[in-house]
Amino acid sequence: MRIGILTGGGDCPGLNAVIRAVVRTADGRYRSSVVGFRDGWRGLLEDRKVPLSNDDRIDRILTRGGTILGTARVNPDKLKAGLDQIRQTLDDNGIDALIPIGGEGTLTAAGWLAESGVPVIGVPKTIDNDIDCTDVTFGFDTALSIATDAIDRLHTTAESHQRVMLVEVMGRHAGWIALHSGLATGAHLTLVPEVPFDVAEVCDMVKKRFQRGDSHFICVVAEGAAPTPESMTLREGGIDEFGHKRFTGVAQQLGAEIERRIGKEVRTTVLGHVQRGGTPTPYDRVLATRFGVHATDAVHRGDFGQMVALHGTSIELVALTDATRHLKTVPRERYDEAAAFFG
């Protein structure tokens, strides 16, 4: 068998571990070969690929962040218009099955290829942890560790200066990184995209904390968090060429508003892409490796149109259509758990 593999959407620690696991399992268990398409769906549209051999080089990518295949975003309409080209590339390269590794966009495209008859098994990735039907995605644990370390450090400097510190973490539609890093570091407030915040309430919380004699205030803000429309207006950033909302820096704008309203000194840190770079944690290496092994097994069983997923401690398959119907956002009760520690 000849398997095609690609990585789509934002990169994520653990992508290389999946690629390695697919190559090793395909060769070692089934004597199958693997071809990597470069830069996500673009590689399939432009027939740019690289053969991946089960050798020492592939073995060493286990611990490396990023993706050796490169990744890219392609406007979904252009992708849809390129379906015939994608089929042609798969035919020209004798590809029997495709393993796309990506987030909700890549997996939606994978589901849509599967419906049109292309044999596909998806692998979910994202630091945001917002893919439904899997307990967790690899990349999340690494991003959470990086955010936790950064916020721990902000606590000590905030305390020394009696400051309000806002720290913006990634989380476009889902506040998992914010929720967990806030809980792990004992943040005094966490703002997530799922629950609009009221600026007056935030200011009140900050004021009360300092009135009580506490030394500092740490607030974790997901990049996709937004105020209630009546409490504050965020700058508009529009939509980029791939259909994604452009963020304008919610933490920085909230910080300015807190300073203006209550005169407290505020500092803002935006962690940005640091959260996505570098070596995956052991947890993410293991999960990514298991996903790669199970995706390769599924391909050889002919279980197509599905995605590997973690359920408890087992790796199982779920239909791509089910996994991409909704994003896995933070449920209100999970946010309320964290709220017990606010203020």
Ligand X SMILES: Nc1ncnc2c1ncn2[C@@H]1O[C@H](COP(=O)(O)OP(=O)(O)OP(=O)(O)O)[C@@H](O)[C@H]1O
Ligand Y SMILES: O=P(O)(O)OC[C@H]1O[C@](O)(CO)[C@@H](O)[C@@H]1O
Neighbours of 136 (CB within 10 A): 17
Q: Check if the beta carbon of residue 46 is closer than 8 Å to that of residue 1.
A: no
Per the DSSP assignment, residues forming a β-bridge with 4 are 35, 98
Least CB distance to ligand X at residue 27 (A): 27
The yes or no reply on residue 108 touching ligand X (CB under 6 A) is yes
Contact residues for ligand Y, defined by CB under 6 A = 10, 103, 126-128, 170-172, 223, 276
Backbone angles phi, psi at 39, to 5 degrees: 55, 50
* Under rule CB under 6 A, residue 103 binds ligand X: yes
Residue 128: active-site member = yes
Kindly state the smallest distance separating residue 171's Cβ from ligand Y, in Å: 6
* Selected binder of ligand X within 19, 44, 74, 97 (CB under 6 A): 74
Across the beta sheet with 121-124, what order do the strands follow? 49-52, 33-37, 2-7, 97-102, 121-124, 306-311, 314-319
Q: Is there a binding annotation on residue 285?
A: no
The answer to whether the annotation marks 85 as part of a ligand binding site is no
Torsion angles phi and psi, residue 125, rounded to 5: -135, 150
Residue 230 makes CB contacts below 8 A (sequence gap 6+) with: none
Among 92, 239, 242, 331, binds ligand X (CB under 6 A): 242
Alpha helices in the chain (DSSP H): 15-30, 41-45, 56-59, 76-81, 83-92, 104-115, 140-161, 176-185, 199-211, 250-262, 282-301, 320-323, 332-339
Tally of residues, the chain = 343
Task: Choose the contact partner of 102 out of ligand Y, Mg ion, ligand X, none; CB within 5 to 8 A by kind.
Answer: ligand X
Nearer to ligand X, 242 or 341 (CB): 242
Does residue 4 belong to the site contacting ligand X (CB under 6 A)? no
Q: Which stretch binds ligand X (CB under 6 A): 69-77, 150-158, 280-288, 328-336?
A: 69-77
Q: Is 74 assigned to a binding site? A: yes
Q: Which is nearer to Mg ion, 105 or 122 (CB)?
A: 105
Distance (Å, whole) CA 343 – CA 341: 7
Confirm whether residue 336 is marked as ligand binding.
Answer: no
β-bridge partners, 141: none
Residue choice 4, 20, 112, 328 for contact with ligand X (CB under 6 A): 112
For the CA atoms of the chain, what is the radius of gyration?
22
Residue (18 or 158) nearer to ligand Y, CB = 18
Among 41, 176, 197, 335, binds ligand X (CB under 6 A): 41
Q: Which of 11, 39, 128, 284 is catalytic?
A: 128
User: Is 168 assigned a ligand-binding role in the annotation?
Assistant: no
Among 3, 5, 8, 15, binds ligand X (CB under 6 A): 8
267 marked as binding residue: yes
Give the Å distances, CA to CA, from 305 to 1, 94, 112, 206, 276.
18, 19, 9, 50, 28
Neighbours of 79 (CB within 10 A): 23
Least distance in Å: CB of 67 to ligand Y? 12
Residues lying near ligand X in the complex (CB under 6 A) are found at: 8-10, 41, 73-74, 76, 79, 102-106, 108-109, 112, 126, 128, 242
Residues flagged as binding site for Mg(2+): 104
Residues flagged as binding site for ATP: 10, 73-74, 103-106
Catalytic residues: 128
